[in-house]
A and B are shown apart, each in its own frame.
Chain A
Amino acid sequence: MRLRTTGSGAVALALACSLAACGSGDAPSGGGGSAAGGATAGGGKIAVDLPRADSDFWNSYAKYVPKQAKELGADLMPPTNSQNDVAKLVANVQALVSQGAKAVVMAPQDTGAVANTLRQLADRKIPVVTVDTRPDKGDTFMVVRTDNRLYGSEACKFLGEKLGGKGKVIEFQGSLSSVNGRDRSEAFAECMKTDYPGITVFEEPTEWEGPKAAAALQTRLTQHPDIKGIYMQAGGVFLAPTLQVLKTKGLLAGPDDPEHIFIVSNDGIPQELKAIRDGHIDATLSQPADLYAKYGVYYAKAAIDGKTFAPGPTDHDSTIVDVGGGRLEDQLKAPLVTKDNVDDPGLWGNQVGK
């Protein structure tokens, strides 16, 4: 709410949209009800496909979607779930379109295989907003994503500084067949190579699977007992196994202990925030589940309302960039959470279950 009202001027300046359209879409507090009424009357049904039901992050995203849609006055169809399977995603989208969807919000985890679906949707003039991932090919109205390269480089900087530029670090890589795993891994490796050449990095492929990370950590700690830093690319899957391995090995020392192993995570799930409070891990980059839901629906609605966007800074502290071929991507910021700001109520992990 707050973001939109304060920043509507910036939107009008930065984005080449008609003032009238902006006004109707951006009148949240006063005319929210009527704007919503107008949108519904125009038949602007928004379809949302959720990527999976078995991760904490996507479950909170699923909870935020209807809430944010209501606040934005969008006409949301009941969300479908594609269970991490691109074939299901395709079937869901077809069903949603035949039910009258005018815009689709999806989060394709397989970024290559959705190209055909995107083309079909483009043929039918149905705008698509993708959340979290950028399809390798195909038309999208907007990609709402965090800058995943920033995840890798922020984690690298944090560990590099804490270790004083030397020592050994282990990295649990996500699947390299996903754009997020690739971006995080590449950025982390680049930053380590250029800024902290004194640090040895052990890259462990895990396919986003906790047991693989635990096995790799156990093995590596036996081989190199002097490992002092851990970067896990997804707290949701790696946190508990990592802490359990360290606990069994008696290496779970507090942040002031010289034996302490510095741990940086990605995601920002509630358990990570708790681990930061307990001093078990040191930092995480909080992936904004709430903003994903909000701007996924926001751009879908904007597309139906006929607005267009252009590269440049947005009203919500992020930047729209042209990632090639006129495809736009709104790169949201992922805040670095340490014990100094872990209790910030603005973090999605602090809102779960409230």
Chain B
Amino acid sequence: MTTSTGAVTPAPTVRPARLRDLALLPAIALLVLVGALIDPAFLSRDNIVNVLQQQTELSLLVLAEAIILIAGRFDLSLESTVGLAPALAVGLVIPATADGLGAELPVWTAIPLCLLTGGLIGAFNGMLIVRFRLSAFIVTLGMLIVLRGLQVGLTGGQNLFELPESFLYLGNARWLGLPASIWICGVLFAAGIAVLGYFRHGRSIYAIGGNADAARAAGVRTDRVLWTVFVIGGLLAALAGLLMTGRLGSVAADQGNGMIFTVFAAAVIGGVSMDGGKGTLFGGLCGVLVLGLINNILTLAGVSAQWIQAIYGAIILLALVMARLTSGKAQD
């Protein structure tokens, strides 16, 4: 209940969150050290860029999920949007002979369609959750299944291979020597951190997550803010799908499948509370980095296939414990 004051005077609530932010930095430093010891190639510029690029899609989903979690809600359907949005957009553009839907819209519409699909999915989620007051967890669990089913239904379960070049561009291009996707994520995270940290609308998300009734009493238009949050979540998931499609060169029928677990792992490791109102986007980003570094190090070290999952899980638990020790704050 104390967080209700956050809406009026944001400054006091920022401080404990800051500490949680930095909690993962020792873990990251340790991982970098271990990586460098295991293989000198780890610290090479190429490898670091690879790690960052491989995590861009995940980081966008974590950005979306962190905002939604902070607002005190849930969205499990993000992972299915990652597949459906690009599949639908591409399907409407490519000819039926390449497993398209036969609409053959002009190629330039593909990217807007992809983002539009994501936004509409978010708006639909928002309608069910905000307007009809359904449980966010169950609604988005249902949507996760429906959206995946829609993708399999629309594409006939096929992977879409023949994609327009423009659709692949963002996931592939390099701007100023770095993959475009890294720039995009960087800019979006910076914007997110700024808005949630310093702007009225962003701060109101914390207030809603902490105590929605108090936020409403304090004059926040909770429904409108929540709805916006879900639409932004859908948009970011669609963008993640677009980047992933570009990086992997096809829309797989199971694109994004199972990602939501990693998304939650990253968000929670990064100190975003599942109960709403607590955590920061910077923390979420650190969580993504930790997972990315672990993956990279396990590959470089050539850990045997039979053991990799056990070790991966154990390291995640270890990172959680380290974050708990360094921040001194109870996790929830």
- Please state if A59 and B304 are interface contacts (CB–CB under 8 Å): no
The interface on chain A, measured as residues whose beta carbon lies within 8 A of the other chain's beta carbons, has a size of 35
- Please state if A210 and B46 are interface contacts (CB–CB under 8 Å): no
Cα–Cα distance between A274 and B53 once the two chains are bound (Å): 28
Chain B: CB-nearest residue to A216: B299
Which B58-115 residues sit within 8 Å CB-CB of chain A?
Answer: 97
Which A265-321 residues sit within 8 Å CB-CB of chain B?
Answer: 271
Which of under 10, 10 to 19, 20 to 34, or 35 or more describes the interface residues of B?
35 or more
Q: In the complex, how many residue pairs between chain A and chain B have their CB atoms under 8 Å apart? A: 89
Which B226-262 residues sit within 8 Å CB-CB of chain A?
Answer: 244, 247-250, 252-254
Cα–Cα distance between A223 and B158 once the two chains are bound (Å): 34
Q: How far is the CB of B290 from chain A (nearest CB, A)?
A: 15
Q: How far is the CB of B202 from chain A (nearest CB, A)?
A: 31
* Interface membership of B296, Cβ < 8 A: yes
Which of B39, B97, B305 lies in contact with A205, CB distance below 8 A?
B305
Cα–Cα distance between A236 and B158 once the two chains are bound (Å): 10
Q: How far is the CB of A318 from chain B (nearest CB, A)?
A: 28
Which residues of the other chain, A, contact B254 by a CB distance below 8 angstroms? 54
- Please state if B295 and A222 are interface contacts (CB–CB under 8 Å): no
* Interface membership of A226, Cβ < 8 A: no
- Please state if A204 and B299 are interface contacts (CB–CB under 8 Å): yes
Task: Knowing A54-B253, A56-B158, A240-B161 are in contact, say whether A215-B304 is a contact too (CB < 8 A).
Answer: no
Which residues of the other chain, A, contact B296 by a CB distance below 8 angstroms? 215, 219
Tell me whether chain A's interface is mostly helix, strand or loop, or mixed. helix
Chain B: CB-nearest residue to A212: B295
Which residues of the other chain, A, contact B306 by a CB distance below 8 angstroms? 176
Task: Knowing A215-B295, A248-B172 are in contact, say whether A223-B54 is a contact too (CB < 8 A).
Answer: no
* Interface membership of A218, Cβ < 8 A: yes
**B interface list, Cβ under 8 A from A:** 39, 41, 44, 46-47, 50-51, 53-54, 97, 152, 156-159, 161, 168, 172, 244, 247-250, 252-254, 295-296, 299-300, 302, 304-306, 308
Q: Known pairs A203-B305, A222-B50, A353-B97. 15 more at Cβ < 8 A?
A: A53-B152, A54-B254, A58-B157, A59-B158, A204-B299, A210-B252, A211-B54, A215-B54, A216-B299, A219-B51, A222-B46, A223-B39, A223-B300, A237-B252, A271-B161
A-B pairs with beta carbons under 8 Å apart, 28 shown? A54-B253, A55-B253, A56-B159, A176-B306, A202-B302, A204-B299, A210-B248, A211-B54, A211-B248, A214-B247, A215-B54, A218-B50, A219-B47, A219-B300, A220-B299, A222-B44, A222-B46, A222-B50, A223-B300, A236-B159, A239-B250, A240-B250, A241-B249, A244-B248, A244-B249, A248-B172, A271-B159, A353-B97
